[in-house]
Amino acid sequence: MCRLIVNRIVRIGDSERWSDVVIHAGVARWVEVASDRSKDAEHQIEQVLDQIDETLPQIGSDRESLLQILICLPNPDHVDVLNRLWDKWVPRGHAPVRACFHSGLSGGCHVEMIITAAVTSA
């Protein structure tokens, strides 16, 4: 007889439209945008990186467990700022897979990051 193992899906902060974080099979996924969209791109990027830092311990993870970050920047001129802040933020030897693409964002949003991280502790 084959035993079926079902991993539970955990949704944190779910609403009718989305969840703040979804965890399944030891992997967490979530999206960050700057909480203060009145700031310029550099400050919004800093905010989003800080917000990722706030979420990681709440889900039992850390920067070294980041697997992938997809970054949406509406203005390609902000890539240099992103790279400067990113290089200071990512732990050396533990860089996640990263893709940066240009797409329109609304509401004064200068950056959106889609994060995937391994959950390393319960």
Query: For 51-101, how does the pLDDT look when each residue is reduced to its tens digit (9 = 90+)?
Result: 999 999 999 999 999 999 999 999 999 999 999 999 999 999 999 999 999
Q: Which pTM was predicted?
A: 0.90
- Is 107 or 81 the better-scoring residue by pLDDT? 81
Lowest mean pLDDT among 1-10, 30-39, 68-77, 92-101: 1-10
What percent of the chain clears pLDDT 70, i.e. is strictly above it? 94
- Cα angle for residues 88, 90, 93 (degrees, 5° grid): 115
Residue 70 in tokens? 């997809």
Task: Report residue 56 as tokens.
Answer: 């990681």
Taking only the tens place, the pLDDT of each residue in 74-87 is 999 999 999 999 99
